[in-house]
Amino acid sequence: MNQHNFGKTILLFLFLVVPSIAVASHAKHPSVDSEDICLVSAYYSPHGGSAQKVVALLNSAHKEIRLAIYSLTHPNLVQALVDAKSRGVDVAIKADKLQSSGKSQKAMLKLLSSTGISVEISDQSRLLHHKFVVVDRKLVATGSFNWTVGGEDRNRENLVVLECDAIAQSFLAEWNLIQRNKP
Q: How far apart are CA 162 and CA 104, in angstroms?
A: 29
- Domain membership of residue 53 (yes or no) is yes
Q: Which domain holds residue 120?
A: 38-177
Categorise residue 4: left if φ over 0, alpha if ψ from -120 to 50, beta otherwise: alpha
* pLDDT of 123 above 60: yes
Q: What is the mean pLDDT of residues 19-42?
A: 66
- Domain membership of residue 162 (yes or no) is yes
Q: How far apart are CA 170 and CA 75, in angstroms?
A: 28
* pLDDT of 101 above 50: yes
Nearest residue to 179 (alpha-carbon basis) of 123, 112, 125, 108: 123
- Domain membership of residue 79 (yes or no) is yes
Q: Evaluate whether 133 touches 140 at the Cβ level (below 8 Å).
A: yes
Domain of 90, CATH number, reads 3.30.870.10
- Domain membership of residue 182 (yes or no) is no
Bridge partners of 64?
A: 90
Bridge partners of 90?
A: 64
* pLDDT of 81 above 90: yes
Q: Record the pTM.
A: 0.81
Is residue 1 very low, low, confident or very high in pLDDT (cuts 50, 70, 90)? low
Looking at the structure of the chain, the number of domains it has is 1
H-state helical runs in the chain: 3-12, 18-23, 50-60, 75-86, 97-100, 103-114, 149-153, 165-177
